[in-house]
Structure 1
Amino acid sequence: MIVHRFFTNPDIFRRTAAGVSLILAPLCLLLGMAVDPTESGADEALAYANNPAATGVSATLLHYAWILWVPGVIGLVHLVRRKGVVLANVAGAVTVLGLINFSALMVSDFFDIVLFQRLPAAQAEQIMQDAAQPAMVAAWQMPGMIGSFLGLVLVSVAYAWAGRAGWWFPAGVLVGMLVWLFGASSWNLVLGLAGPVVLLLVFGAVGVSLIRMDDREWSSAT
């Protein structure tokens, strides 16, 4: 009976899916960073080639991190009515497109593995650089990164502005993103994991609130 109601009641299913996604997305990001074989000072592509299994698991987890944020973002935007609605709608659209674009970029890790296993490092590096065509950078990479990172912050701002959560939510998202970006770019393992932990805490708290939310509140969002 409970399972039947879960799949037949649109409010329960969509609300729960959004809430669970907000928990799983940063969790996948955290696990993906933990499994990533790259170490500080080491060549990223060579580390991928020397550790194909770990790289594949990491890339897959990161791919699903960005994908899983999509239903969560849609759920957050759904709950913003009147105050903050314009920001939520615009930021939500940008974020969803950014997340989808960014998830697609994870496939490049698998090409790194094969190229650096089969070719000399200099030749493999040149191929990867040549593959960074202007269209890929302008239409895939930049929208994916900017849309994902900035979009998630703006969606959380709209959610707090609407009174759905305290301002700790956008503040935590901003801090978590900045710490993670700095840690990932500098290959600092502590910061690379600390950022996702912060994101897991704030998105997880909101995700749990969605799961526990009354169906009438979800439907009317007043």
Structure 2
Amino acid sequence: MITNADRFRRTAAGLSLILAPLCLLLGMAVDPTESGSEDVLAYANNPAATGVSATLLHYAWVLWVPGVIGLVHLVRRKGVVLANLAGAVTVLGLINFSSLMISDFFDITVFQQLPVAQAEKIMQDAAQPAMIVAWQMPGMIGSFLGLVLVAVAYAWSGRVGWWFPAGVLAGILVWLFGASAWNLWLGLSGPVILLVVFGIVGVSLIRMDNHEWSPAA
């Protein structure tokens, strides 16, 4: 397979669309924060679980990149402009967002070695304007809105039904609400929805004929 360019890239893109939401789901499941709790010491008291969770979340965003590139690659007529623009924004957003997961490791160390009030102040002061404007906002907006728009372009091209962008939007909204409300069930339900819709499309890429994948077709 590795010697066949079309088959290797198609399979890699398909697997990425499956593994990315799976890593997101597992990362949320391992997160040591208890449902309904905003315990600032949750990460410091559970460094191993926090490290595994942060790593899984990091790779969730990273693994979405080849999948997005694969989807954009298949949009060639209707929706091609949207796919190209949304794809570029999404890839940059995913890369930015993945880098933000490293803050969990600083969270562990700071809260382990300093009083809570001092640790909280340091973490708050670390949120410099440049970090928020150039890292956090592009990461979140580019990732979440970008994934929805790429799914819209893919459906617009006729590759899949409109259930795909609808499912992506629903999964992201449920996950964001669950994560912000510290609700474990919603925090896991969103990734499950994303795993189902992206998984279906990912499997379709893996099973796709090389002739259909090739731009010449």
TM-score range, shorter chain: over 0.9
Alignment of 1:90 onto 2:88 = no
Q: CA deviation at 1:221?
A: 7.2
The structural deviation recorded for 1:39 is: 1.6
Matched, 1:60 2:58: no
Identity of aligned residues (%): 84
List gaps (5 residues or longer) in structure 2: none
1:167 pairs with one of 159, 162, 165: 162
Q: Deviations over 1:47-85 (max 9, x none)?
A: 000100000000000000000000000000000011000
* Structure 2 CA distance for partners of 1:143 and 1:221, relative to 1, 3 Å: farther
CA contact (8 A) 1:48 1:55 kept: yes
Letter in 2 for 1:142: M
Of 139, 142, 145, the residue aligned with 2:140 is: 145
The equivalent position to 2:153 in structure 1, one of 141, 158, 163, is: 158
RMSD: 0.9
String of CA shifts for 1:18-65, please: whole Å, max 9, x gaps.
000000000000000000011234335310001000000000000000
TM-score by length of 2: 0.98
Cα deviation code 1:96-150 (max 9, x no counterpart): 0000000000000000000000000000000011110000000000000000000
C-alpha contact 2:38 2:182 (8 A) present in aligned 1: no
Report whether the alignment pairs 1:179 with 2:174.
yes
Give the helix-richer structure, 1 or 2. Answer: 1
What is the rounded CA distance, in whole Å, between the counterparts of 2:19 and 2:37 in structure 1? 30
Which runs of 4 or more aligned residues in structure 1 lie more than 3 Å from their structure 2 counterparts after TM superposition?
Answer: none
Determine if the alignment matches structure 1 residue 34 to structure 2 residue 34. no
Aligned residues, how many? 217
Residue in structure 2 matching 1:100, options 86, 95, 99:
95
- Residue 19 (1) aligns with residue 14 (2): yes
Aligned AA (1:127): I
Q: Which residue of 1 aligns with 2:129?
A: 134
Residues 44 and 77 of structure 1: CA distance in aligned 2, closer, same or farther (over 3 Å): farther
Select the residue among 190, 199, 208 that pairs with 1:204: 199
Checking the alignment, whether the CA contact within 8 Å between 1:80 and 1:221 is kept in structure 2 is: no
Alignment match, 2:74: 79
For residues 181-218 of structure 1, give each alpha carbon's deviation from its aligned partner in whole angstroms, at most 9, with x where no partner exists.
Answer: 00010011110000000000000000000000000000
Corresponding residue for 1:214? 209
CA distance in 2 between partners of 1:201 and 1:187 (Å): 23
Contact map agreement 2:37 2:182 (CA 8 A) in 1: no
TM-score normalised by length of structure 1 = 0.96
In 2, distance between residues paired with 1:45 and 1:87? 41
Partner secondary structure for residue 163 of structure 1: coil
Find the aligned partners of 2:188 and 2:213 in 1 and give their Cα distance. Answer: 33
CA distance in 2, matches of 1:109, 1:170: 30
Partner of 2:4: 9
SS of residue matched to 2:161: coil
